[in-house]
Chains A and B, each alone.
Chain A
Amino acid sequence: MRLSRTVTQRIAFSLLTAIMSVTVLGILAIITYIFWNGLPTLSWEFLSSMPSNGMREGGIWPAIIGTLYLTIGTAVVAVPIGLLAAIYLSEYAPDSTFTRTIRIAIVNLAGIPSVVYGLFGLALFVLFLQLGSSILASCLTLAIMTLPVIISTAEEALRAVPQSFRVVSISMGGTRWQTIRRIVLPQALPGILTGVILGLERAAGETAPILFTGASFFLPHLPQSIFDETMALPYHLFVISTQVPGMPVRIQYGTALVLLIFVLVMNLSATIIRSYYRRKRQW
């Protein structure tokens, strides 16, 4: 017997809703669990003091600062390069075998496991270029990992700007660069920003790429220059969860919560930027 079309539709919709709920519920469960267990630990003291007694007491200040440094440093390296690459690919590059190869390479780079980036960074920046295990080496490694995300989202945002704007600008005596700077870039900026934040968010939460390139187990002081090692939230979480015997669970959850909030705030700001500009958009 065949089901009527309305019944089929209702079944399909329910199924899709169920699948979506499972996904969302899973995420919500994790977030709630971390908040529930981590919130009691959260205090000004926990956020702003150095770890003490073999990290079993005190706070996570150097890890927070370290993650901030790494994120900012990664942005400084990855954003200009990524943006220029995206502009080239979207606005200048001819559709040739060469540029198609570049695009495929970028897509594939995005799928490489982060530990491979870590080893690559160790080989190239730490050893070959002799930067040592340092914030600089870590930022460069994270930047390489982040670049594919930034390039592909930025290129997509640039391509989404209607071609008719470019044609009009060119027909009014605009050069290609004037057209990009005055029309295309401003219109694509929200999309680019979203991609940048999402890319940096991943960089902020990764452990493997910084493991061999600049993250330190424990430092009694804050890093003084980009050639110093630094503590960082994800690696710190790894360390206190697996490497320190007799570690109080509340500190682990507190650290996890701080990292989670860090990433959620970035994600949220990307969402807000995107929806704000989508409402303002004039096309």
Chain B
Amino acid sequence: MVGQAPHPKFLVESLSVHYPDGTESLHNISLQIPRNAITVLFGPAGGGKSTLLRTFNRLNDMVEGTRYSGKVLLDGENILTPDLDLVALRRRVGMVFAQPVPLPMSVRENMTYGLELAGERRRRNLDRAIEEGLQAAALWEEMKDRLDEPAHAMSGGQQQRLCLARVLAQQPEVILLDEPTSGLDPISTAKVEDSLQSIKKKYTIIIVPHSVQQAARLADWAGFFYQGDLVEWGEGKNLFIAPKVKRTEDYVTGRFG
């Protein structure tokens, strides 16, 4: 394997994921996710990148009967053990989805939702989390006077940045993004990408991009997935300019996919 990051945030060893209908979504994947960087998981649909993303916060478990084999270590601790505290894991590993899903409440309540689930009641802490989260997602100026409006009244781009902001308000360690800009216009997309670049110093970011171009723009590290296999893994600046595997090259240059 090319390019090993020192002290990886996630260490994936021989991971396979089976869905209850018997299909194997990932075959024997091994890789290391570096901290404080943006890692891009890309490839054609059905390649297993979303499955891998949803393994990092065990969201695949919502599909009953999902089976894992292999190991995924978060700071050295295996998160695939059956008795893992999933609530604690998901507080450390936040997620933003393809479609913006503002919860049916105000902007403020969306921002404090995660902290309140965790039992935080102190007004001062909640207010600070709201401001810091919105600042980091470049939403504070637009939102600070609209905190009590319903979140669904915001534009699509604002909603998606709110979804990022509300994850940031929980102070997670890792942020997973599953095609977060697929429903957004180019300007909103640029704003989201800018936010990611500016927060990566503090967080480990793993993203499934919605295009190869976005993958190339964002990747510090990248993995190319095809039909459940990790075809190529490497630093972004190498992988997109000089891919080593023919299939990666064909995909990156647009010959298929």
Q: Which residues of A contact B (CB under 8 A)?
A: 94, 162, 164-165, 167-175, 178, 182-183, 186-187, 281-283
Contacts and interface: CB of A to CB of B under 8 A. Distances in A.
Contacts of A175: 87, 117
Nearest to A161: B104
Contacts of A167: 59, 62, 97, 101
Contacts of B64: 94
Contacts of B91: 172-173
Given A173-B90, A173-B91, A168 B101 contact: yes
B158 interface: no
B89 to A, nearest CB: 8
A80 B43 CA distance: 50
B90 A283 contact: no
Nearest to B87: A173
Contact of B97 (A168, A173, A183, A282): A168
A170 B113 CA distance: 11
Given A168-B103, A171-B57, A173-B114, 19 more contacts: A162-B101, A164-B99, A167-B59, A167-B97, A171-B90, A171-B94, A171-B95, A171-B97, A172-B91, A172-B94, A172-B114, A172-B117, A172-B166, A173-B87, A173-B91, A173-B117, A174-B87, A182-B113, A283-B152
A172 B167 contact: yes
Q: Interface centre among B95, B113, B150, by most A CB within 10 Å?
A: B113
Contact of B104 (A171, A172, A174, A283): A283
Nearest to B167: A172
16 contacts: A162-B101, A164-B99, A164-B101, A165-B101, A165-B104, A168-B103, A169-B103, A169-B117, A171-B59, A171-B94, A171-B97, A172-B94, A172-B170, A173-B118, A174-B87, A283-B152
Contacts, number: 64
A171 B97 CA distance: 10
Interface string B63-77: 010000000000000
A86 to B, nearest CB: 20
Secondary structure at chain A's binding surface: helix, strand, loop or mixed?
A: helix
Nearest to A165: B103
The 4 closest A-B pairs by CB, nearest first: A282-B104, A173-B91, A172-B114, A173-B90
B164 to A, nearest CB: 12
A281 B104 CA distance: 8
B110 to A, nearest CB: 10
Contacts of A281: 104
Contacts of B102: 282
Interface of B: 57, 59, 62, 64, 87-88, 90-91, 94-95, 97, 99, 101-104, 113-114, 117-118, 150-152, 163, 166-167, 170
A168 B150 CA distance: 17
B154 to A, nearest CB: 11
Contacts of B163: 168
Contact of B152 (A174, A186, A282): A282
A186 B102 CA distance: 15
A175 B116 CA distance: 12
Contacts of B87: 173-175
B152 to A, nearest CB: 4
Nearest to B114: A172
B113 A172 contact: yes
A94 B64 CA distance: 9
A172 B117 CA distance: 8
A162 B97 CA distance: 14
B28 to A, nearest CB: 26
Contacts of A187: 104
A229 to B, nearest CB: 47
B62 A164 contact: no
Contact of A164 (B95, B97, B118, B152): B97
Contacts of A162: 101
Q: Which of A172, A174, A282 lies at the interface centre, i.e. has the most chain B CB atoms within 10 A of its CB?
A: A172
A281 B150 CA distance: 11
Nearest to B117: A174
Nearest to B102: A282
B90 A170 contact: yes
B221 to A, nearest CB: 23
A94 B20 CA distance: 14
Contacts of A171: 57, 59, 90, 94-95, 97
A157 to B, nearest CB: 14
A187 B103 CA distance: 10
A128 to B, nearest CB: 40
A186 B103 CA distance: 12
Contacts of B90: 170-173
A210 B62 CA distance: 46
A170 B131 CA distance: 23
B198 to A, nearest CB: 22
A164 B96 CA distance: 12
B104 A183 contact: yes
